[in-house]
Amino acid sequence: MPNEPSFVALGEADFLREARAIVDAAQAQGTSLRILGSLGIYAHSLHVPETISVLHRVGRISEGTPLFTDLDLMGYASQGRSISRVFDSLGFKPDDMINGFFGDRRLVYYEGQNRFHVDIFLDRLEFSHDVLFGKKPGNGRLELDSPTISLTDMVLEKLQIHRIGRKDLVDLIVLFLGHDVKRAADGDREAIDAGHIADLLADDWGFWYESTQNLGKSRQLLGNFVAEGKVPADFAQRIEGRIGKLEAALQSVPKGRAWQKRAKVGTAKRWFREVEEIVR
């Protein structure tokens, strides 16, 4: 199979343009695809210049390295064949082994000039915890926004990670810098819906606990950035205030019986799924 680059071999604007073209080509064929991950956060933050400034200043993986390593998309498994036709028509090369074994939940394609590869997740992100997007076009969560998944789902995408690293904590910091947290987004695509997140996790103690831990870790990394002079104090205050809003929602929403029962066990029993990276 092709040797994939360590980083995307395109500038940021060109990479986003390529990703949008894929989403648009799919839409033209009646197929739902949305950008998630780091590029989704970048695309949703361009209208807030300070977010991109901070992202460049601190870097995601490390200072001075490119921001993106691949393109992550979300789609519906029921449209798997049409997704494949979209990528075939655009000249992408399939990873036959991964697509053959995991094609009902994940597809991988390589750009024709090997400048980047594409991971397409179907129906859900299934890692340390599950983030569900629905199964049927028209009434799933992909319809909430375009060309990216919703901001709320971007936050869940990061909060579910058990062994969270620097780059994902940076993504959370950027999200909170650029977007307010509201108890109910009410269709506001530029707001993070704390109510949805809190209600979702009120029946899942493990995901709830993971989220509280990761919010704390993002605050800790933010403090390091402030001490190093990489994030201004007023930006940090804004970020911390929004993290606090989400934390308050997570604490205040009444918890279900399953949550309460699992909370009694706590960390004495593993609360997350071990994730084994597929080796390409």
The confidence score (pLDDT) of residue 154 equals 98
When the pLDDT of each residue in the chain is averaged and rounded to a whole number, the result is 94
The confidence score (pLDDT) of residue 1 equals 41
The tens digit of pLDDT for each residue in 44-70 reads 999 999 999 999 999 998 888 889 999
Residue 2: pLDDT band with limits 50, 70, 90: very low
Q: What is the largest CA-CA distance in the chain?
A: 53
Three-state secondary structure of 96-135: HHHHHHHCCCEEEEECCCCCCEEEEEECEEECCCEEECCC
The tens digit of pLDDT for each residue in 87-119 reads 999 999 999 999 999 889 999 999 989 899 999
Tell me the residue range of the domain where 243 lies. 12-268
Residue 9: pLDDT band with limits 50, 70, 90: confident
Q: Is residue 263 part of a domain?
A: yes
Q: Give the total number of structural domains in the chain.
A: 1
Alpha-carbon gap, residue 267 to 250, rounded angstroms: 18
The confidence score (pLDDT) of residue 3 equals 47
The tens digit of pLDDT for each residue in 168-208 reads 999 999 999 999 999 998 989 999 999 999 999 999 999 99
The tens digit of pLDDT for each residue in 21-36 reads 999 999 999 999 999 9
Looking at residues 231-255, what average pLDDT do you find? 98
Alpha-carbon gap, residue 159 to 153, rounded angstroms: 10
* Phi then psi dihedrals of residue 128, to 5 deg: -60, -35
The confidence score (pLDDT) of residue 66 equals 86
The tens digit of pLDDT for each residue in 198-231 reads 999 999 999 999 999 999 999 999 999 999 999 9
Question: Are the beta carbons of 118 and 70 closer than 8 angstroms?
Answer: yes
Question: Are the beta carbons of 106 and 74 closer than 8 angstroms?
Answer: no
Q: Is residue 214 part of a domain?
A: yes
Q: Is residue 220 part of a domain?
A: yes
Taking alpha carbons only, the member of 155, 121, 166 closest to residue 140 is 121
